[in-house]
Structure 1
């Protein structure tokens, strides 16, 4: 949620002053993301020690990044939410940082990658860690801190977060649905909006459905709903569910046909080779359209349904076994060797669910780029803790979420659809129509092949098989997105 350049020599004489939206001291500067819901606080009462904090406004339990500077040292720390992770790199006695990885482009080297991170990306074994694809470039994970001195940059993980290990029994007379309703509405009502103009991602599923019901109860002056529509028969059912929610809540709705904006489509960030994070989301092109629409309607905040699957999952935090990864036939020798290290250097257990935090890193920078602040109320710490304590019968199949939709008066086809929406047809169109030509180009010249991360011959065989296959292997999307993203930063 901030960008900055710090020079140790400037910290010797702190003379910070506002200048064009930044705070400047010599050639050092700190700037919040250009989002109206963020505030930057400066405390220099204890000079030469200066503290700068960028945080959500209007919230006591706000997300934040804090920078504490004194002669010879700067310390950066993050809150528990991880809404927009900060990327850090130290070069030549200077600390550069930004929520936007592409903003650090001058310091990124496509020929200096971290093999185990490449292996995680190509095999879809993503992990929450301070490591990024690029050597010397780090992510400040939730509750973590970084220290910048003449010796360089050091990162420190926090202690593992405490969680409820097993569900608990309900007290007699307790209505868990009413408790969830109060919690969710309260979290949404506390959102850091100034004008009260908000947006919500409405897919038509149980997660976004529960969010929109709470938004209605929170009574914002103006609410816009946005949704990516999938095609085919599934898309028709999704359209009906969305229409039911929109009419029930009285929102101003903007549907976006996802099939018109599939991965690698013309006019999208990847086709235009705009500098972007190679680890971006599959459907970045479609979500970019949603973000542009939200900004055009002057939404300060956009609520998402992220995390609904995670908080409804039944698992043991003391005995977790990840599923075996799908075989990837085109891995090169460097990637194969690095597979033994995919679980090295991981961040400790966070407050929020790990998959949600990783999704934030892929999706949320795009919202900040559009000038909109994303809020995911389902994974607010208060709701995470409530759901951890809830007996599993209320979470199995999202039973409590679905019952809340029924109790709102919406039909069973909305509360428990027989065929939930998915984006597989959108992915197939993107790969078949636009991805395979990218692969043809990659077979001629490739960063990943040249560096030994991908086997060119095996990739060529996969290309031949894709022509006659009923569907293009979706793991090719991970490969192509990584290749195109690396090229965009070169």
Structure 2
């Protein structure tokens, strides 16, 4: 939501608005310029803060003053308003005496906020590329856990000294000192009976409608990400019901899932009156080039090429906001006692992929990956996997002028769905009822098979195996002592020969990490 380069000694100076940014000495704080965001600089004697936050409906943008000088009481009131802001925000607060600052973030985690403090200078950005031009060291412990396919949501990142400000966290800096503070963990949720007279479908519908109407939206500037699956279709139904005819964007897959996906898209877009546009995954295949020099970020995403084609189209059409279905996979968890009653659930493709991943790793990396983790962020109102998905995709969206909105990641909706009785959660029952009521029961029958990208990478890796093997003659992760180069080449041969999903998952993660390390070391 903002970028900043701050010399701590400049914090003793008065902060001023200048050409769309906040200036103090040689330091600058540059808000991300977007109609969905508002920036406020509030000053009082000896201290000031600046916040960049999502706009709330229906307040017009010209009703929010960009700069205010206030007394201490009003300063505290406005500060509390920022801390309790119901949508996403980033807040930088400064005490001029002692040149101290604190950076805070909201709960939604719509975009990443990376921080680095070094030599009494602080750099803040939503774009990791802003850090990649400086010498960076790889955190071997984090790299090892990620090579072993662990999901990590943490302040600690792959690059030493670059910190991710996790949701509700704060980063405190003063001359010669910096420290990070995690928030208090959220209480664990558990299923409970619905209150008498309360209907799960009605409450789900009302909560979802509240989320999609929380921001001031112009219909002709919005795109809806539509895969053809239940999550994005649910968001599309809610947005279309509130805002009318809009544009939808999606990627068409190949293989057995293609025709069912096309049919579902046609049903959805026809019944919601969406203006639909698609791109072919075959026309924009994932980039597997390990020699690529563009810094892509710290989280792997192999389908940004196809997504980028859609984002560029949206920008040409004058759209600046994207509704997504991120968070749907996390809305309806199965709890441990329920899985035991069902016989333990499905045997593990994840375990099989982890087995292949661990065969790549050196004893040193395996030892680190199997160590007890003490760096994870505490439990949050938005599930960690959804927050990681935001961090992965949002920078690319912002580069294309699109602000992401992820209704299924809303904390209120998440809390409600997590507490639903099992019969409302199993098979996403309440979501299925919502879709049946709006689209008809034939769009997502109980036999519906979710379309995935599962076949894209195995086939692509098989076709490009010789090139990848040639590029792996020099292996950055092997040079760091984390990966066995011969094992990596053997895994590549396995994927090329079998095109199986489990070894592909391990290899894909390794290849992304290899490219990332080459870009930043």
TM over 0.5: yes
Cα distance in 1 for residues equivalent to 2:252 and 2:214? 29
Cα distance in 2 for residues equivalent to 1:195 and 1:23? 31
Cα distance in 2 for residues equivalent to 1:349 and 1:192? 30
Of 118, 122, 125, the match for 2:143: 118
Of 251, 257, 282, the match for 2:302: 282
Pair 218,271 (structure 1): closer, same or farther in 2 beyond 3 Å = farther
Partner of 2:159: 134
- CA deviation digits over 1:16-54, x for unaligned, max 9? 2322x321111111112243311111001x133110001
Q: Which moved more, 1:417-426 or 1:461-470?
A: 461-470
- CA deviation digits over 1:151-188, x for unaligned, max 9? 2321000110235x322222344322122112111210
- CA deviation digits over 1:258-299, x for unaligned, max 9? 232222168xxx775322214231322222223222222222
Contact map agreement 2:92 2:104 (CA 8 A) in 1 = yes
* Residue 58 of structure 1: how far off its partner (Å): 2.1
Pair 91,265 (structure 1): closer, same or farther in 2 beyond 3 Å = same
Cα distance in 1 for residues equivalent to 2:419 and 2:385? 20
Pair 1:161-2:186 in alignment: yes
Partner of 2:177: 152
Pair 1:347-2:345 in alignment: no
Partner of 2:226: 202
TM-score, with length taken from structure 1: 0.92
TM-score, with length taken from structure 2: 0.86
Cα distance in 1 for residues equivalent to 2:314 and 2:145? 32
Partner of 2:118: 91
Pair 296,8 (structure 1): closer, same or farther in 2 beyond 3 Å = same
- CA deviation digits over 1:46-68, x for unaligned, max 9? 13311000101125511000000
Pair 271,179 (structure 1): closer, same or farther in 2 beyond 3 Å = farther
- Cα RMSD for the two superposed structures: 2.5
Cα distance in 1 for residues equivalent to 2:5 and 2:410? 31
- CA deviation digits over 1:183-222, x for unaligned, max 9? 11121011343565211111111111111111111124x5
Q: How does 1:159-308 map to 2 (within 5 A)?
A: 159-163=184-188, 165-193=189-217, 197-220=221-244, 223-264=246-287, 272-308=292-328
Cα distance in 1 for residues equivalent to 2:242 and 2:247? 14
Pair 1:429-2:459 in alignment: yes
Pair 334,261 (structure 1): closer, same or farther in 2 beyond 3 Å = farther
Q: How does 1:363-402 map to 2 (within 5 A)?
A: 363-402=393-432
* Residue 146 of structure 1: how far off its partner (Å): 0.3
Partner of 1:482: 513
Partner of 1:449: 478
Pair 189,435 (structure 1): closer, same or farther in 2 beyond 3 Å = farther
Pair 470,76 (structure 1): closer, same or farther in 2 beyond 3 Å = closer
> What runs of 5+ residues in structure 1 fail to find an aligned partner?
none
| Number of equivalences | 480
Partner of 2:2: 2
* Residue 348 of structure 1: how far off its partner (Å): 0.7
> What runs of 5+ residues in structure 2 fail to find an aligned partner?
58-84
Pair 15,78 (structure 1): closer, same or farther in 2 beyond 3 Å = closer
Q: Which moved more, 1:399-408 or 1:239-248?
A: 399-408
Pair 486,149 (structure 1): closer, same or farther in 2 beyond 3 Å = same
Contact map agreement 2:382 2:411 (CA 8 A) in 1 = yes
Pair 152,330 (structure 1): closer, same or farther in 2 beyond 3 Å = same
SS at match of 2:360: coil
Pair 1:335-2:402 in alignment: no
